[in-house]
Amino acid sequence: MIRALLLAIVSLGLIAAEPAPAPDRPLADAAQEARARALFADIRCVVCQHEAIADSPAGIAADMRRLVREEIAAGRSDAQVKADLVRRYGDFVLFTPPLRAATWLLWFGPLSALMAAGVGLLLISRRHRTETVALTPAEEDDLARIVADQAVRPDPDAKPSDD
Amino acid sequence: MIVELGGFALILALALAMLQTGMAVAGRLRRSPVLAGAAEGAALAGAVAVALAFAALIAAFAVSDFSVANVAANSHTDKPMLYKVAAAWGSHEGSLLLWCLVLTGFGAVLSRARGLPFGLKASAVATQGVLGVLFLAFAVFTSNPFARLDPAPFQGASLNPLLQDPALAFHPPLLYCGYVGFSVCFSLAIAALIEGRANSSFWPAWGRWVRPWALASWAFLTVGITLGAFWAYYELGWGGWWFWDPVENASFMPWLAGAALLHSAVVTERRGALAGWTTFLALLAFTFSMLGAFLVRSGVLTSVHAFAVDPERGLMLLAILGATSGAAFALFAWRAPRLKGGGMFAPVSREGALVLNNLFLTAACATVLLGTLYPLILEAANGATISIGPPYFALTFVPLMAAAFVIVPAGPLLAWKRGDLNGVIQRLSVAVGLALLIAFAGWMAFEPKKALSAAGIGLGAWLILGTLAEVVERVRLFRGPLAESLRRARGLPLGAWGTTLAHAGLGVFVLGAVVETGYRIEAARPLAPGQTIEAGKWTVRLDSVRVVEGPNYLAEQGRLTVTLRNGAAPRMVTAERRFFPAGGQTTTEVGLDFRGLDDVYVVLGERGRTEAGAAAWSVRVWWNPWARLIFLGPAIMALGGLLSLLDRRLRFGVGRRRAPS
């Protein structure tokens, strides 16, 4: 009985908990629609968990998509559309975090850490090189004599799988 | 009764873990093989006890014993048996028990390992025991999965239907084998910091002991993450497979640290160098695993995947994380400067290439860490809320990895100690030429023309071809008789084939990810039965929509036909919108039409009306070119890890490494 009732409800199209949002109406101009879609991927659905409005089925996401399309149709640039959204919802609404003093570490932290580590490694390898370079003339002579004595020089560290 | 036995086994496991720790420490201090052996026995018994507890929980789920609070909250009699069982690890409590099972199981395998020096093994078993005590105590005192409910409800609340999926049933066990496998690396690193000496024979041996664990954990994690991504791809119905969601990042950080670890451990094993750095990475990998557990379970992050759990438990997890990692890194800071591994090398050498690899992987890992935690830090600091999503990672993480990929094929060709860069460039020149050609061909073949995507195609091709060039070089293909090459190919160690597969698999993944991300085509509009929609070269027609009844859901099932534009090559797909009455949720079942390497991806949306007033369903269609490679690549990588694991060189030392679970 309950099953039949549910079946009836489903077939009536009442599957969703909230009323279905108005379906998306793409912009007539293909270039404008492409711009709108690119923007959708960078705009966060403000009530969802880490979802872009491009993906979200939530009603507010549909409203935001309509808003973006309207603004683009009205001839506003991508930057203007984003600025408008940030004014309404805050920085939270964009998946690209803003670049300002508080986010310098976020944007440039990894690269500067990489460069610092690279420079550090270079310095270390320089220091190591000076440790390994100098051989006195007497040592050079010894080395030449040993090399001349031994036709084959076995590498003490080498293993067959080292090749 | 079974449930009480399970609860008892869990408490017993906690007691055994305490015994294990105490006896291992005492055994180490008194140099008593008897005490140390008893600790190893306790480790084994503890693993058996947790396995019993886990079996009891599964039994409770299998018979839908709703007098158990956890079963009532996560199961339902209408669910298929697979999802009843999988629900055992679908909740916070159950998955924590799984975590403990893997932790003690791997600990038991470690305790059976032969060939480890007495002190090192006792210290490692003690460390593993401490981890066991912490996590088991957390389970027993805050997250007991066996708590009873009185009165018992007649029906359970059911598992989130999004999780009722075969891929997601196996995703957590694999992921946890990876996460928690790093705990053994962690324990071995702590033991090395306590016991390690600055002598030249210790570190290569230690590298050999730690490498299999790093490899196995990394391979498990690779498969687990890929399954998760695949699930997100076909279950969420958003057309994508990776969203840089904080919880995805939480699993990705240990993977990156683990990848760095297994490369750095090669240097430590073969050359005794980078001992301190490898130890550091071993500590880091498990720290990231614990950080992931904290982020997912504490509720500090909002995510599709997060367990919604109260902050109090999160605080406890943070305390465990802080105590273990804090102590570990303090020990590292104290002991590491005294541990010199030795093994000098020139900047241009195999070691040098692996150091560079580590540099990039750790920087990439730091990027993901910043991108995950920065919103939390910023909000705590000045209340500002920001979102960090795909565009950030595309600008920071992707260039780092791209730069790292450029040097991947050169690494295995460089000799140890001092390499010959010119020789390597010469030997890779054919691969470079071909990769450039392929990049150009990709630029010509795909519309719209995108220079960056074409460069990405070239990079993927370079990874595959450069890796193959190394094999060609090693077996001297084209430079002698074929029989000689075959003989050499058979003589190559499995580890070398493992490297080849893993690097080539990476290339396959890069090709898939670049082409899918760069050239996918999406279309959406409301369709009445009989109407069509076009995405690129494909036309999709909605044939009919009917209501079907599943075991625990009702669904609107759309039948659609996918054809080429001219109507050729028709194939039927079904896409569903499922309604689960038990929880009142709706999910989508994506219709996937596999076309060679491409996917035609169809999502049936809500019912509405066309402008003419007829019933219509909003249909979204994606043409995802080369999407198959995205999931094939990591599978090849994991296979490479498995091959390396089977290498004879790695087999002694840590006896049998297969986990009992």
**A33 to chain B: closest CA residue:** B523
- Whole-number mean pLDDT of chain B? 88
Distance, in Å, from the CA atom of B445 to the CA atom of B655, rounded to the nearest integer, reads 51
Please tell me whether residues A32 and A108 are part of one structural domain.
no
Q: Do A123 and A85 sit in the same domain of this protein?
A: no
Cβ of A110 and B649 within 8 Å?
no
pLDDT for position B582:
77
Task: Kindly provide the ipTM of the predicted complex, given to two decimals.
Answer: 0.81
Q: In angstroms, rounded to a whole number, what is the distance separating the alpha carbons of residues B263 and B502?
A: 12
Distance from CA of B66 to the nearest CA of A (A): 22
Those of residues 43-82 in A touching chain B at CB distance below 8 A are: 44, 49-52, 54-55, 57
User: Residue B526: which H helix or E strand, with range?
Assistant: strand B521-527
Residue B238: C-alpha distances to residues A13, A138, B594, B601 (Å): 22, 73, 17, 10
Q: Which of B381, B524, B606 sits opposite A20 (nearest CB)?
A: B606
pLDDT (average), residues B317-343: 87
Which one, of B363, B325, B275, lies nearest residue B131 by Cα?
Answer: B325
Over residues B52-80, the pLDDT tens digits come to 999 999 999 999 999 998 898 888 888 88
Task: Please tell me if residue A42 touches chain B, with a CB cutoff of 8 Å.
Answer: yes
Q: In which band, very low, low, confident or very high, does the pLDDT at B660 lie, cut at 50, 70 and 90?
A: very low
Cβ–Cβ gap B378/A37 under 8 Å: no
B223 vs chain A: nearest CA distance in angstroms? Answer: 24
Judge: B549–A3 Cβ closer than 8 Å, yes or no: yes
- Note whether residue A1 is domain-resident: no
Min Cα distance B142 → chain A (Å) is 27
pLDDT reading at A46 higher than 50: yes
In this structure, the number of other CB atoms found within 10 A of the CB of residue A112 comes to 13
Which residue, of A49, A72, A93, is where some domain finishes?
A93
pLDDT beyond 70 at B652? no
If you measure CA to CA, which chain A residue comes closest to B370? A106
* Pairwise CB contact (< 8 Å): A95 & B387: yes
On whether residue A20 sits in a domain, the answer given is yes
Q: Does A17 lie at the interface with B, CB-CB under 8 angstroms?
A: yes
B-chain residues within 8 Å CB-CB of A90?
A: 385
- Reported as a single tens digit per residue, the pLDDT across B391-428 is 999 999 999 999 999 999 988 888 888 888 888 888 88
pLDDT at B394: 92
- Beta-carbon pairs below 8 A across chains A and B: 147
CA dist., res. B217 & res. A159, Å (int): 28
In a domain, residue A2? The reply is no
pTM of the model: 0.89
* Whether A20 and A89 share a structural domain: yes
Cβ contact B586–A105 (<8 Å): no
Backbone torsions φ then ψ of B330, nearest 5 degrees: -65, -45
Q: Domain end: A55, A77, A93, which one?
A: A93
pLDDT value of residue B580: 85
Q: Which of B315, B284, B283 is nearest to B297 (CA)?
A: B315
Contact A26 B525 (CB under 8 A): yes
For residue A53, what is the domain's CATH number? 1.10.8.640
Centre a 10 Å sphere on the Cβ of residue B13 and count the other Cβ atoms it contains.
30
Q: What is the pLDDT of residues A115-129, one digit of tens each?
A: 998 898 888 777 765
A46 within some domain? yes
Is residue A131 domain-shared with residue A68, that is, in the same domain?
Answer: no
Same domain, A105 and A140: yes
Given a cut of 90, whether residue B218 has pLDDT beyond it is: yes
Domains of chain B by start residue, with CATH: 1-160 (no CATH), 175-412 (no CATH), 428-519+630-636 (no CATH), 521-624 (2.60.98)
**Domains contained in chain A, number:** 2
**Across B343-371, average pLDDT:** 89
From the list B360, B392, B605, the residue facing A97 with the nearest CB is: B392
Three-state secondary structure of B408-443: CCHHHHCCCCCCCHHHHHHHCHHHHHHHHHHHHHHH
Is A162 contained in some domain? Answer: no
Confidence of residue B341 (pLDDT cuts 50, 70, 90): low
Q: Are residues A67 and A20 in the same domain?
A: yes
Q: What are B409's two structure tokens?
A: 């094929």
Contact B396 A13 (CB under 8 A): no
Q: Does A113 touch chain B (CB under 8 A)?
A: yes
Q: Are residues A77 and A124 in the same domain?
A: no
Closest by alpha carbon to B394, among B453, B443, B438? B453
Average pLDDT value for residue range B645-650: 75
Q: Do A110 and A47 belong together in one domain?
A: no
Q: B554 to chain A: which residues are within 8 Å by CB?
A: 6-7, 10
Boundary-marking domain end, from A47, A72, A93: A93
Contacts of A92 in chain B (CB under 8 A): 385-387
Nearest CA in chain B to A12: B607
Residues A19 and A75 grouped into a single domain: yes
**A118/B389 CB distance under 8 A:** no
Q: What is the largest CA-CA distance in chain A?
A: 102
Q: What is the C-alpha to C-alpha distance for residues B198 and B558, in angstroms, rounded to an integer?
A: 68
Q: Does A4 fall in a domain?
A: no
Whether residue A55 is found in the same domain as residue A111: no
pLDDT of the residue at A158: 46
Please state which of the ranges B123-137, B319-333, B575-589, B614-628 shows the lowest mean pLDDT. B575-589
Interval B131-148 mean pLDDT:
93
User: Would residue A3 count as lying in a domain?
Assistant: no
Chain B within 8 Å of A19 (Cβ-Cβ)?
A: no
Is A81 found in the same domain as A16?
yes
The pLDDT value given to residue B203: 86
Number of residues written out for chain B: 661
Could B586 and A17 be called an inter-chain contact, meaning their C-beta atoms sit closer than 8 Å?
yes
Nearest to A16 among B493, B547, B606 (CB): B606
Q: For residue A116, what are the domain limits? A: 101-149
A45-54, B97-106, B547-556: which has the highest mean pLDDT?
B97-106
Closest chain A residue to the Cα of B392, Cα to Cα: A96
Mean residue pLDDT of chain A comes to 76
Q: Is pLDDT of B544 > 50?
A: yes
Residues A79 and A107 in one domain: no
Question: Nearest residue on chain A to B415, judged by CA atoms?
Answer: A163
Q: Is A124 on the interface with B (CB under 8 A)?
A: no
The sheet carrying B615-624 orders its strands as B521-527, B615-624, B598-609, B591-595
Q: What does the pLDDT average to over B434-461?
A: 92
Interatomic CA distance for residues B395 and B37, integer angstroms? 53
Q: What angle do CA B375, A89, B397 make, to 5 degrees?
A: 35
Contacts of A103 in chain B (CB under 8 A): 374, 378, 386
CB-based contact (8 Å) between A105 and chain B?
yes
Residue A161 lies in a domain: no
